[in-house]
Amino acid sequence: MSLQLQTNIAKPDSFYNRLIDMQRDLSEEEVQMMNAKLILLLSNHIGEEEVLFEAMDLAKP
Angle at which helices 28-46 and 49-59 cross, to 10°: 140
* Centroid of chain to Cα 44: 12
pLDDT of residue 22: 96
Does position 60 have pLDDT exceeding 90, yes or no?
Answer: yes
Residue extents of the structural domains in the chain: 35-61
Supply the pTM of this predicted model: 0.85
Question: Are 55 and 3 a contacting pair, CB within 8 Å?
Answer: yes
Backbone torsions φ then ψ of 26, nearest 5 degrees: -100, 150
pLDDT in tens, 3-18: 999 999 999 999 999 9
Q: How many CB atoms lie within 10 A of CB 25?
A: 7
* Per-residue confidence band for 34, with pLDDT thresholds at 50, 70 and 90: very high
pLDDT of residue 1: 79
